[in-house]
Structure 1
């Protein structure tokens, strides 16, 4: 998600809108938080919160302590502390909203072991960082080839270099446990760098790589969704969706996260709704439920002897019949109830002018009289007699 004029330059800075990551739509980066406190100064005597949020490749974000009290703004490229060496990332959030995000993610901002932010990245840091980023695709391809040669049941989905180029993290997905000790030895020998392997789930892989969903929009997990809740097939059953794995599965191969978006609304509507297994006892015979519409509060029933003929009943009518059946009473027939639900269709459009044809303004094609044309040609050809 990005603004219409925003693109990324060689140094990692947005170069289209030239607003350093704070364009009007606030969509230059993935999973961004709109800093609505950016134009507000802290109260008198209160210092600005000394932690910042830094984004690295794709959606990986970490928090760092600004111990040097540098003046930072969203979009600045900074050098941060790493386990060995330093890393380079982009500032995505500053100020009091960082405290809110750290509290939300259960990170103690008073922890003395919180990694530090060293400095604003120099041009040399940016050049090394960009050079490493340009090598990632080639190294990922070669790493996949090495894994295939070793016959490992794994998929290397992404590679991320550290800012100083001393270490590379390989993200992979696998069904079972994988022994990749020989793989690390071969890759360290081929690339001459320190290797770190990190296994991620299929949803985390889709979040990192991004893509376009079946709805035509960017994936929710790569734009705004921060937590992955479990999705079960019961969510599809409650919403009366066909259990087709090709339609219900997303790009990650798991059930779509959007199946949970409207689930609460369906569960509220189903609290006092008759079950699809309901059976109505009538004098004409036993009736079974064939179809139901939750929001229109309508159910369709048919007799056991005549399953092709459906009778439309309202939710209140079905509950009334079920209550009578519990008392041992039978209704006469479903037709008595379904006749009350017949509604005459009203005309939405009435033609006042009386002209229905869409081609009424078109001029009709004139038929040419071939005989008249022939006579005219013959008259022109006749020679004139000289007296």
Structure 2
């Protein structure tokens, strides 16, 4: 068994699993950990617990200590320096005419590394840019190309539901989302209606898809002919949330059948 804690970064939500042998670490504690990016201040979202080594490929880092007031002061100072670094980097990108969109910049806590995240439609040769940045900031430079969904996660924002983006508040990983999920839920297939700020299908389409798939198996399709106690009819509408079916008979009489009544309906091929 392996003892780990589940943490996230302070400026956006991103699940990280850190090895930790200290059983006193609890939710909402702030810690300093050594991760793949370097030394970072992280917030605990799940305290120390045990997990089988078979259930986790590799931990994302190692717990070092609880964060101190000095750590937070350093973190805020580093953020200000990273803002200035981002302005310089953006200017350097323009000077070199590179086809890349800078998303953010971040120092590790010990300032041993300066990380720039960017998006681009193409592969970018940024070797000259790295040399320019290293000369300017006298530290290790890392340029990371990320996708549009990751960009939305970093930048944050408000979705059409009126709440903050799921990806930047509680979603640790991106689950696959397909257009079939929108079809299962009878949603408009207009891209503007089902796309998020990143331009991809909204992550929330995935939340209730399993229920809709299970519910659809219980209901006849719209347009199918069914035998009812009142005779032969045609399904003109279904309500998946209430599990009800509206059937129109030959004399144009419309009857609604509930989940308990579905056994009375026999689909006619």
User: Shorter-chain-normalised TM-score: which range?
Assistant: 0.7 to 0.9
TM-score, structure 1 normalization: 0.53
Are 2:149 and 2:200, in contact at CA under 8 Å, matched by a contact in 1? Answer: yes
Normalised by the length of structure 2, the TM-score is: 0.72
Equivalence for 2:159: 213
2:18 to 46, 50, 63: 63
Q: Aligned to 1:253, what secondary structure does the other structure show?
A: coil
* Distance (Å, rounded) in 1 between the aligned partners of 2:263 and 2:62: 66
- Runs (5+) with no aligned partner, structure 1: 1-48, 281-286, 304-309, 327-387
Are the equivalent residues in 2 in contact too, given 1:51–1:94 (CA < 8 A)?
no
Matched, 1:96 2:48: yes
* 2:229 alignment partner in structure 1: none
Residues 225 and 50 of structure 1, relative CA distance in 2, 3 Å threshold = closer
What is the Cα-based RMSD across aligned positions, in Å? 4.0
Deviation at 1:246, TM superposition (A): 1.0
Aligned in 2, Cα 1:194/1:302: closer, same or farther, shift over 3 Å?
farther
Per-residue deviation, 1:241: 1.1
Q: Out of 223, 245, 253, which is 1:298 matched to?
A: 245
Task: Please give the alpha-carbon distance, in whole angstroms, between the structure 1 residues aligned to 2:53 and 2:77.
Answer: 32
Provide the residue aligned with 2:64 in structure 1.
117
Measured after TM superposition, the shift of residue 51 of structure 1 is 5.5
Paired residues in the alignment total: 254
Name the CA distance, whole Å, in 1 between partners of 2:200 and 2:17. Answer: 27
CA distance in 2, matches of 1:83, 1:227: 17
Cα offset, 1:267, TM superposition: 1.4
Flag the structure with more relative contact order, 1 or 2, with Cα contacts below 8 A and sequence separation at least 6: 2
CA distance in structure 2 between the partners assigned to 1:263 and 1:55 by the alignment: 27
Q: Does 1:133 align with 2:70?
A: no
Change (3 A) 1:312 1:151: farther
Give the Å deviation of 1:218.
Answer: 1.7
Distance 2:84 2:52 in 1: 35
Q: Aligned-pair distance for 1:195?
A: 0.7
Q: Which has the larger radius of gyration?
A: 1
1:236 to 178, 182, 190: 182
CA deviations over 1:349-377 (Å, ceiling 9, x no partner): xxxxxxxxxxxxxxxxxxxxxxxxxxxxx
2:186 maps to 1:186: no
180-189 or 49-58, which deviates more: 49-58
Q: What whole-Å deviation, never above 9, does each CA across 1:53-96 have from its counterpart, x for those lacking one?
A: 56544235451546xx7976654454x44679x62414526853
| Among 112, 123, 129, the residue aligned to 1:166 | 112
Q: Distance in 2 between matches of 1:266 and 1:102?
A: 35
Q: What aligned pairs does 1:72-91 form with structure 2 within 5 A after superposition? A: 74-76=28-30, 78=32, 80-81=33-34, 87-90=39-42
Q: Map residues 1-387 of structure 1 onto 2, 5 A cutoff.
A: 55-58=8-11, 59-60=13-14, 61=16, 63-65=18-20, 74-76=28-30, 78=32, 80-81=33-34, 87-90=39-42, 92=44, 96-97=48-49, 99-100=50-51, 105-107=56-58, 115=62, 117=64, 121=68, 123=70, 127-276=73-222, 278=224, 292-294=238-240, 295=242, 297-299=244-246, 312=254, 320=266, 323=268, 326=269
